[in-house]
């Protein structure tokens, strides 16, 4: 173990999936022909004024409430100035003095709380496309709504960093405010990193901007940690300067962006085109009422249902999976359904993207019904597992694949007979059981199961055997 602590804070930009942009009625859609989703307002033409999208306010408050934030009574908008072709007005409308959400936290599995300093709303910049000679501007992304979630420097390991981002994604997807696709840029992280020794003040931090993959974030943090520690150990502590760095995935290293970022004065001041907005407590209460159960809550319920923690984590990780599972659960058996989804169905959905979308041909209702058949010993797990892939492929209900024989089961007199046969055939097992080896009974149950090709009810069989040998 190193004697240096890692200290990490996140600034995460999340694109909200409201129907329209933040200040006008243009469509808020990813992609599209360049410059087809824009109007005089989001282009910043002279004389235009912003109209704050109420949905954006709602979404941001949803996010804040889900991250245990306080919603202050008033919020205001500010202007952040800089000249760059991606910013038509030469200022970004954002929040600085009075953001929409304050002081929240996200709880990791260990129980540790990562404090959220604040969440603010702002507009995204346009997209620039560079070629050898020119810069092209695509204004479709210009003025799309973002929230920025700013943590305190509470993250102390690469693992915690990953968990923070994954949990954040799960929460924001659950409440439906963003798809949080890092690869498409709808979630982007600026990561602040410093190191210090226990009990000493925080070290100088460096910031790695615009990270768009969790594994790159992990690598970048590791690299920066080693770089800081190496510099300190070799007596070059003063070489760690507060700066913005870029992570290069090809070389797996970070490099200085050599921009005078911190010297830049953004001249934040209140945007006079906005009134100070009062966030009525009733308005906030009404938003609270619309919030679905959050992943952590669902997870703890699943654990109470008897689902193990790892499975529960996977079931709540993807919003659509969780929704599907919770719906199927109302028609069927929760434990059995978990094995279906995390087993056969996840095997079928290979990529993260596919799991995220969870676009499958089996209705929650039908899968629930299948789990009940298994639970009531009408069919065995083996049969269920064998037909799920067919259902996924063809989209027919489970009834289409179950033969009469599958569903017949065995009548109990036949099973009683087989139990007696088993006891007679395995005297050693009976002896072992009587001398205290409870597991020995399983061998006789297994005998009956084999004889019935798995169609016997294992619970009934075990009870019958017990009855017979007592």
Partner 1 sequence: MPNNLISLATQLQRKEISSVELTTEYLKKIKKLNKKTNAYVFTNEEVSLSQAKKADQIIAKGAPSVLTGIPMSLKDSIMTIDMPTTACSKMLAKYIPTYNSTVYTKLLNNGAVLLGKTNMDEFSMGSSCLNGFFGEASNPYDTNRVTGGSSGGSAASIAQDTCVYSLGTDAGGSIRQPASYCGIVGFKPTYGAVSRNGLIALASSFEQIGPMAKNVGDTKIIFNVIKGKDEFDQTAFEIPRTTRQNPIIGIDEDHVEKTADKDTLAVFEKAIKACSKLGYKTVKIKSKYNDIYAKLYYILAYAEIASNMGRYTGIDFGYSTKSKYIDTNDFIKKSRSEAFSNEVKTRIMFGNHMLTGENMEKFYYKALKMRNDLVEDYYLNVFSKCDFILSPTTPTAAFRKDYKHESIQESALTNIFALPANLIGLPSISIPFGVSSDNMPIGMLLTGKRNFDNALLSVAENFEKHSGYKVLN
Contacts with partner 1 by CB under 8 A lie at: 40-41, 43-52, 79, 81, 83-85, 88-91, 135, 137, 265, 267-270, 272-275
Alpha-carbon distance values, 82 to 39, 43, 88, 258, 270 (Å):
22, 16, 10, 17, 15
What's the closest the beta carbon of residue 89 comes to partner 1, in angstroms?
5
Distance CA 103, CA 71 (A): 9
Q: Which is nearer to partner 1, 28 or 178 (CB)?
A: 28
* Closest CA relative to residue 217, chosen from 149, 166, 154: 166
User: Would residue 68 be called left, alpha or beta, if left means φ above 0 and alpha means ψ between -120 and 50 degrees?
Assistant: left
Q: Which is nearer to partner 1, 266 or 385 (CB)?
A: 266
Grouping H, G, I as helix, E, B as strand and the rest as coil, residue 319 is helix
Please state the closest distance from residue 42 (CB atom) to partner 1, in A.
11
Q: Is the Cβ of residue 83 or residue 131 nearer to partner 1 in the bound state?
A: 83
Smallest gap from residue 313 Cβ to partner 1 (A): 43
Distance, in Å, from the CA atom of 80 to the CA atom of 379, rounded to the nearest integer, reads 64
In angstroms, give the least distance from the CB of 270 to partner 1: 8
Angstrom distance (rounded) from CA 359 to CA 339: 18
Cβ-Cβ contacts under 8 Å for 46 (sequence gap 6 or more): none
Q: Whats the size of the chain, residue-wise?
A: 470
CB of 38 to partner 1, least distance (A): 10
User: Closer CB to partner 1, residue 86 or residue 421?
Assistant: 86
CB of 45 or CB of 305, closer to partner 1: 45
Q: Which is nearer to partner 1, 268 or 331 (CB)?
A: 268
Report, in Å, the least distance between residue 393 CB and partner 1: 51
Compute the distance between CA of residue 54 and CA of residue 92 in angstroms, rounded to an integer.
19
Among the listed residues 159, 209, 161, 160, the one whose alpha carbon sits nearest the alpha carbon of residue 188? 209
């Amino acid at each position: 173990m190193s004697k240096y602590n890692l200290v990490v804070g996140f600034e995460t930009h999340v694109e909200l999936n409201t129907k329209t942009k933040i200040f006008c009625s243009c469509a808020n859609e990813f992609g599209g022909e360049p410059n087809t989703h824009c109007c005089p307002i989001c282009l910043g033409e002279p004389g235009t004024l912003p109209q704050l999208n109420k949905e954006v306010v709602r979404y941001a408050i949803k996010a804040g409430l889900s991250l245990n934030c306080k919603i202050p009574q008033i919020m205001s908008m500010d202007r952040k100035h800089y000249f760059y072709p991606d910013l038509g007005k030469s200022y970004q409308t954002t929040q600085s003095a009075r953001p929409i959400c304050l002081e929240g936290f996200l709880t990791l599995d260990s129980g540790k709380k990562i404090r959220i300093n604040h969440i603010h709303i702002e507009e995204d910049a346009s997209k620039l496309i560079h070629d050898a000679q020119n810069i092209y501007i695509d204004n479709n992304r210009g003025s799309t709504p973002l929230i920025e979630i700013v943590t305190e420097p509470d993250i102390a390991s690469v693992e915690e960093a990953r968990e923070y981002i994954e949990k954040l994604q799960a929460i924001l997807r659950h409440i439906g405010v963003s798809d949080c696709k890092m690869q498409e840029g709808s979630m982007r992280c600026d990561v602040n990193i410093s190191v210090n020794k226990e009990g000493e003040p925080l070290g100088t931090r460096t910031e790695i901007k615009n990270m768009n993959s969790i594994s790159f974030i992990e690598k970048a943090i590791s690299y920066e940690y080693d770089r800081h520690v190496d510099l300190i150990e070799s007596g070059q502590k003063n070489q760690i300067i507060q700066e913005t760095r870029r992570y290069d995935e090809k070389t797996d290293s970070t490099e200085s962006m050599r921009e005078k970022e911190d010297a830049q004065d953004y001249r934040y001041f209140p945007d006079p085109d906005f009134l100070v907005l009062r966030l009525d407590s009733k308005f906030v209460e009404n938003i609270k009422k619309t919030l679905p159960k959050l992943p952590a809550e669902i997870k703890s319920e699943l654990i109470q249902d008897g689902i193990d923690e790892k499975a529960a984590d996977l079931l709540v990780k993807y919003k659509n999976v969780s929704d599907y599972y919770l719906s199927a659960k109302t028609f069927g058996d929760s434990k059995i359904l978990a094995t279906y989804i995390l087993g056969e169905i996840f095997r079928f959905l290979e990529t993260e993207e596919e799991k995220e979308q969870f676009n499958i041909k089996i209705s929650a209702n039908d899968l629930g019904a299948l789990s009940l058949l298994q639970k009531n010993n009408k069919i065995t797990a083996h049969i269920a597992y064998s037909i799920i892939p067919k259902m996924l492929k063809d989209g027919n209900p489970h009834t289409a694949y179950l033969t009469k024989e599958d569903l017949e089961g065995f009548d109990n007199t036949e099973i009683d007979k087989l139990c007696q046969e088993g006891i007679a055939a395995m005297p050693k097992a009976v002896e072992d059981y009587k001398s205290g080896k409870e597991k020995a009974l399983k061998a006789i149950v297994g005998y009956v199961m084999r004889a019935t090709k798995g169609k016997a009810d294992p619970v009934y069989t075990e009870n019958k055997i017990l009855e017979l040998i007592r």
